[in-house]
Amino acid sequence: MVDKVRAFIDRHELLTEGATVVVGVSGGPDSLALLHLLSSLRDEWKLRLVAAHVDHMLRGRESEEEMEFVKHFCAEHRILCEAVQIDVPAFQRRTGLGVQEAARNCRYHFFAELVKKHQAQYIALGHHGDDQVETILMRLVRGSTSKGYAGIPVKRPFHGSYLIRPFLAVSRAEIEDYCEKEGLTPRRDPSNEKDEYTRNRFRHHIVPLLKQENPRLHERFQQYSEIMAEDEQFLEELATDALNKVMEKQNSDTVLRIAPFLALPRPLQRRALQLLLLRLYGGVPPVLTSVHIGHILMLCERGRPSGMLDLPKGLKVIRSYDRCLFTFGLQCCAQGYWLQLPVPALLPLPNGYVIMSEFGEHYPRKQLGNDSFVVDPATVSLPLHVRTRRTGDRMVLKGTGGTKKIKEIFIEAKIPRTERDCWPIVEDADGRILWVPGLKKSAFEAKERGQARYILLHYQAMNS
């Protein structure tokens, strides 16, 4: 087994001579064997080892005894030991996470602290070949992303260091045999025998059947994992470039342009969405699967111009015509607003825009678009107000003399439903709609009449 692990470390360049390695040690067979094996190589490779143990405080006195066991083992083998007790049940109550995810978060946070404290280059964990088989099977059954189907990575960046798994080359049986030959007496976690955990059911009932077909199952799965990881890395580079061409940023939100996105090959569509979600979440949550990716694709492909999806952790995906908005916080105004518009002033609006008002002694010489409006104080009632839309709103359109519903103006301009409730409408003191900024002007816009004093209004993004 030692030769297998050595060859695996060399092939994947998992360790460098003279490195500081933090080794996660629970006291079980896998992590204890890993610590023992690295200890036997430390003089040859000039390694500095730091054993990291976390008592998750889930099993009372039993888990305390495991911590003492690890400390004693490290003292016997002259290995620096960093052990900590973390109240995982309390953390679980605060966060609402499942027990396994809560324990993992606490454990990895402790590892990150040790990396910084000891300036470590590597975190070594005892995941082995059978763990890889179980992980890939579970993800295939449950559903995952294409990167998830590759299983457990051999090596990945971790807080300025690398997280490595040298035992992915060997099976659980080989590790047990190593422990017996080396006289190691690891502790056993009784929860590993309970079928209430999904992984244990795969371990106890499914993997043994597959091993009857191929005793070297773990080697085949590891090979599959590495091929998948290599393919994914290549496709991810293509997807990154493609995503940057079809994505736009709008303040803190992200917009996907649907037509160019759907023009991409299907494999790049899926991976582009995975990358986009990874950026938005800062790490895809475990509950996000290929099913969610499929739902987003269906939303983009459907004939209807609008629709919405609710994704984990409050992310909403909103289709509106040829755009798909990804947002954690809809910029809607459920309560509406009604604000006085003083002159001169810079009035910030809830939709991230401002209306700037000022006095002008002369009528503007250049042609003004829909982002500007000229008010003649002699022909409208002051003060002006800015408000959100109301049922039945209509305005007298400039240049036509006819009236039109505000709702129809929004539809013709393809304004997303999520933005309509927050869109500003400027009215005078008599309630006449003067202007829908950026979209339409009313017949009440001032006309040039010599040396009159005017009010000039400008609508622009807050950060422009």
pLDDT in tens, 136-151: 999 999 888 778 899 9
pLDDT of residue 16: 95
- pLDDT classification of 353: cutoffs 50, 70, 90: confident
- Residue-wise pLDDT for 265-307, tens only, equals 999 999 999 899 988 888 766 677 778 899 999 999 987 777 7
pLDDT of residue 225: 96
Under a CB-based contact definition with an 8 Å cutoff, are residues 132 and 151 in contact? yes
Q: How far apart are CA 363 and CA 385, in angstroms?
A: 22
In the chain, % of residues over pLDDT 90: 68
Q: Which two tokens stand for residue 359?
A: 């006095």
28 marked ligand binding residue? yes
Angle at 337 between CA 335 and CA 343, to 5 degrees: 170
Question: Span 81-103, mean pLDDT?
Answer: 92
Is the pLDDT score of 418 beyond 80?
no
SS3 417: helix
- pLDDT classification of 357: cutoffs 50, 70, 90: very high
Q: Which two tokens stand for residue 371?
A: 């982002």
- Residue-wise pLDDT for 162-180, tens only, equals 999 999 999 999 999 999 9
Question: Span 216-242, mean pLDDT?
Answer: 95
27 marked ligand binding residue? yes
- Residue-wise pLDDT for 375-386, tens only, equals 999 899 999 999
Under a CB-based contact definition with an 8 Å cutoff, are residues 428 and 376 in contact? no
Higher pLDDT, 353 or 15: 15
Q: How far apart are CA 339 and CA 337, in angstroms?
A: 6
- The pTM score is 0.66
Under a CB-based contact definition with an 8 Å cutoff, are residues 372 and 437 in contact? no
Is the pLDDT score of 206 beyond 60?
yes
Is the pLDDT score of 332 beyond 60?
no
225 marked ligand binding residue? no
Sheet arrangement for strand 306-310? 247-250, 253-257, 323-327, 316-320, 306-310
Is the pLDDT score of 422 beyond 90?
no
- Residue-wise pLDDT for 429-454, tens only, equals 999 999 999 999 999 999 887 767 89
372 marked ligand binding residue? no
Q: How far apart are CA 32 and CA 187, in angstroms?
A: 9
Higher pLDDT, 91 or 345: 91
Domains and CATH numbers, the chain: 2-127+165-213 (3.40.50.620), 235-327 (3.30.465.60), 338-461 (3.50.40.10)
pLDDT of residue 285: 65
Residues with Cβ within 8 Å of residue 104, at least 6 apart in sequence: none
Per-chain mean pLDDT for the chain? 90
Question: Span 30-43, mean pLDDT?
Answer: 96
pLDDT of residue 330: 56
30 marked ligand binding residue? yes
Is the pLDDT score of 463 beyond 70?
no
- Work out the end-to-end distance of the chain between its first and last CA atoms, rounded to an integer number of angstroms: 64
Chain centroid to CA 248: how far?
17
Under a CB-based contact definition with an 8 Å cutoff, are residues 228 and 149 in contact? yes
29 marked ligand binding residue? yes
